[in-house]
Chains A and B, each alone.
Chain A
Amino acid sequence: MARVVVDVMLKPEILDPQGQAVQRALPRLGFEGIADVRQGKRFELEVEGPVDDAALARIHEMAETFLANTVIEDFEVKVETSEGPK
């Protein structure tokens, strides 16, 4: 079964207080040198059948109408190779 990943991130201009809270905690935990953190969501979709243009179009529609709120978020659809990680 092929896997398609949808990454959803807040638009750059939208304040991300959760990312900021993570960033502020880093020095306290001994992780120095991180200037900024933005927090997003990752969806891993196990697709039945071939990941062809039609399937990708449907996934794009799904991301646009449901997985992301495009008023505040951007999304990216990526197909993971079926051979798995190299």
Chain B
Amino acid sequence: MTARPSPTATLNGGPTGRWNVRIGVVTFPGTLDDRDTQRAVRIAGAEAVPLWHRDKDLKQVDAVVLPGGFSYGDYLRAGAISRFSPLMETIIDQAKAGMPVLGICNGFQVLTESHLLPGAMLRNNHLHFICRDQKLRVESTSTAWTADYTAGQEISIPLKNIDGRYVADERTLDLLEAEGRVAFRYLDGNPNGSLRDIAGITNEAGNVVGLMPHPEHAVEPLVGTGRTDGLGFFTSILKKLVNA
């Protein structure tokens, strides 16, 4: 484990006079949602820094988002090959040292394969690819990525995957519940057979969060759900880094 470089986030230090928060967005071969994620980061007011899976250098970002898609074609298991990329080795070290990391969909799968988050993702119980607006309840607002929500808040953001079924053993599930680490739960019906309706979880420290639905597709009223329920992920991390 290496020490984390001090955050570069400052209120007025940026070249544009805006908040100078750098959020890295990782691209693996087969990543699909990196551009939407970069856009969501910018809409929230931070600088989006593209990161390439074969690099080792994190370009001094303050936080990292692993976006959705089908990295390495989901070969072997979703996220299993990406997890061993040079960049992920650095991200795993930094995440253990406290750097905020958000994994969305395939990014969540990479985080479970990396064992930064417990459990695993499997094929949806009905075997269908699902693409719809999904209602969630925000269960934890004490993570780096959810502070801008209120506990129990219901949000609606897109869900689109075929390997979305969250599984873990009973002991792990009980631990997650007891420690308040179930960050999001599906509402109005479980879309994929995830145990205990879990849509997303956090690590013990609250800096690493993973979820299957896509907040980055719900940041502008014009597109997606027509709501901006996903913007809170990106404003949460921005405020946390600025106030750090």
Contacts and interface: CB of A to CB of B under 8 A. Distances in A.
9 contacts: A15-B122, A15-B167, A17-B126, A21-B127, A66-B80, A66-B84, A69-B77, A71-B167, A71-B168
B168 A17 contact: no
A14 B77 contact: no
Interface stretch (B55-63, B112-120, B207-215): B112-120
A30 B174 CA distance: 44
Interface string B118-139: 1110111111000000000000
Contacts of B77: 69
The range of chain A's interface size is: 10 to 19
A72 interface: yes
B120 A17 contact: no
Which of A21, A67, A72 is packed against the most chain B CB atoms within 10 Å? A72
Contacts of A18: 123, 127
A39 to B, nearest CB: 10
Nearest to A13: B169
A10 B165 CA distance: 14
Interface in A43-82: 66-67, 69, 71-72
For the residues of B in contact with A, the DSSP-based class is loop
A21 B206 CA distance: 38
Interface in A1-31: 10, 14-15, 17-18, 21
B178 interface: no
A71 B120 contact: yes
A67 B120 CA distance: 14
B45 interface: no
Interface string B21-49: 00000000000000000000000000000
